[in-house]
Amino acid sequence: MSAQNPQAGIDVVPPILEMRGISKEFPGVKALSDVSISVGPGQIHAVAGENGAGKSTLMKVLSGVHPYGSYRGDIVYEGKLQRFRGVGSSEAVGIVTIHQEFALIPELSITENIFLGSEITRGGVIDWGEENRRAEELLALVGLREHPATPIKHLGVGKQQLVEIARALHKDVKLLILDEPTATLNGADSQHLLDLILGLKDRGVSSIIISHKLNEIEQIADSITILRDGHAIETLSVKAHEVDEDRIIRGMVGRSLQSRFPDRQPRIGEVFFEVRDWTVRHPQSPERLVCKNESFSVRRGEIVGLAGLMGAGRTELAMSVFGRSYGSYVSGRIFKDGREIVLNDASEAIAHGIAYVSEDRTALGLNLLDDVKESVVSAGLGKVARFGLVDDGEERRAAESYRSGLRIKTPSIDEGVSRLSGGNQQKVVLAKWMFTDPELLILDEPTRGIDVGAKFEIYGIIQRLAAQGSGIVLISSELPELLGICDRIYTIFEGAITNDLAVADADPETLMRSITTTQKKAATR
């Protein structure tokens, strides 16, 4: 029911959600300080900020992950003061969160995942017919054309995201919280998801979206709250034309970024690393080639990009070169400084000065049970060991050096990496591999899911490594990033390299043409 504004004589629709003066502390860290936001019914409200600004913490307070009593402030939802004791109590009133790391069970079917914990039963037995019928209805709503019996493990990331939303709709969602929903999606899947969120808005569902993709925020949000260092800096109205990327960035980082990329004067040397005629089979489907006779080279001090759509084979190429860590090797040769080398496993790759930073930092880049100091030295333990034992003093000195040098925001090097923000976790992963003194550093989506300020710092780290003579291979789904940071770009389509372009000769249209067609086979330079 709307309330009347007595001064203006206008009906004012009350917000569906108000978070008033929310403060939250962890040992040694004040994550939120007197933060307030308001979301109108059927509105999309974006929350922007650097990694560590408090965005996810604020949403965890709202969803009950941080229960009542662990924070200060009030949550008013649908006009009632709420005291959520856990996730179940927030979901019971229609607040559903879709996290960046999906909560799906790969071995179970779509139907089983949608109804997990809220099964449809008759006489104490699951009614599979009704569940599958209802699942088909939910999948149609989100635009996913898959059989409900399909196991989750057979779906791509974009389709898994849609299953998460279907599950939220089953829970009669009224307020949907999406944490970096398009971080792992390609352009087409991202746009489909954004259109779906707008469609839910038309159905009266409110949304809160956390995203570092400022163009997407501008596209769909009605209003934007900017957080910095745990404080709400300002809330901007899109309808009032208060929003542009520069203003959002200024609020996020406290300064204007005139350039998204640090200035650099490349000092590129001779070719020192070459891959020739590299062919690899898919690990589960031997008839399928994921790398098809691919060749590329890297010079010292050069930043080389790999561009391609999701599923094109960029990661498969990088991982298979890094000690045959992916797929079944068929043929191909690797040369370093003009001599052929054989890399049968990751340890041999590391011994030859090659490092690989995975796109999945939490599953493959870090052991989340370790602290910062253990993580930093983990790939080069021999450098801090004496007589076969880790020297605690050397370990601490090395970790402290990288903590300060890379500006890793952490109370101490004894802090668990699981407690760090995504951007700071990524810096720890970079520190781990920098500690091995790599001659070739392969970076797979190194800035995915992190804010513009942290991106700028990571670009600077990449450039410093190149200036020291390391060769860099950078995989990225963001064409502006590749054009802004690389010296040369290879394009990949369906497991084959289709072009080799100097950045001076490249533009988004040329790259897009090369990653969507078998335009031409590039000659190795």
Positive or negative torsion for Cα 57, 60, 65, 71: positive
pLDDT at 8: 47
**Which residues, in sequence order, are CB contacts of 377 under 8 Å at separation 6+?**
383, 384, 390, 395, 398, 399, 432, 435
Q: Which two tokens stand for residue 20?
A: 């008033």
What CA–CA distance (Å, rounded) separates 98 from 176? Answer: 8
Secondary structure (H, E, C), 304-371: EEEECCCCCCHHHHHHHHCCCCCCEEEEEEEEECCEEECCCCHHHHHHCCEEEECCCHHHHHCCCCCE
Residue type for 458, please?
A: I
Which parts of 70-149 fold into alpha helices (H)?
87-91, 110-115, 128-142
Which parts of 207-306 fold into alpha helices (H)?
214-220, 245-253
Q: b/e string for 431-460 if b means 16 or more Cβ within 10 A? A: bbbbbbebbbbbbbbbbbbbbbbbbbbbbb
pLDDT at 520: 52
Angle formed by the axes of helices 422-434 and 392-405, to 10°?
A: 120
pLDDT at 184: 65
Positive or negative torsion for Cα 81, 85, 91, 97: positive
Q: What is the pTM of this model?
A: 0.61
pLDDT tens for the chain, 525 residues long, are: 445 454 444 446 789 999 999 999 887 678 899 999 999 999 999 998 876 788 889 999 999 999 999 999 999 999 999 999 999 999 999 999 888 767 889 899 999 999 998 888 998 899 999 999 999 999 988 888 889 999 988 887 778 888 988 888 888 889 999 988 876 666 677 888 888 899 989 989 999 999 877 788 888 999 999 998 899 999 998 877 777 777 887 787 776 555 678 888 999 999 999 999 999 998 877 888 999 999 999 999 999 999 987 678 899 999 999 999 989 999 999 999 999 999 999 999 999 999 998 877 766 778 888 889 998 888 888 888 888 888 888 889 988 988 888 788 888 899 888 888 777 888 888 888 888 889 999 999 888 767 677 788 889 889 999 999 999 999 998 888 899 999 999 999 889 999 999 999 998 878 878 887 665 544 444
User: Measuring CA to CA, which residue among 56, 52, 51, 58 is closest to residue 22?
Assistant: 58
Question: Among all chains, which residue has been given the structure tokens 């340890």?
Answer: 347
**Which residues, in sequence order, are CB contacts of 231 under 8 Å at separation 6+?**
33, 34, 35, 54
Q: Domains plus CATH for the chain?
A: 14-253 (3.40.50.300), 267-353+439-525 (3.40.50.300), 367-437 (no CATH)
Strands 44-49 and 223-228, sheet pairing: parallel
Residues 37 and 19: beta-carbon distance below 8 Å? yes
Please report, to the nearest 10 degrees, the dihedral formed by the alpha carbons of residues 360, 366, 371, 372 taken in order: -80
* Strand locations in 143-199 (E): 175-179
**Which residues, in sequence order, are CB contacts of 250 under 8 Å at separation 6+?**
256
Q: Which two tokens stand for residue 256?
A: 């204007």
With 0-12 / 13-18 / 19 or more C-beta atoms within 10 angstroms meaning exposed / middle / buried, residue 67 is middle
Residues 178 and 210: beta-carbon distance below 8 Å? yes
What CA–CA distance (Å, rounded) separates 361 from 136? Answer: 34
CA 226 to chain centre: 19
pLDDT at 51: 66
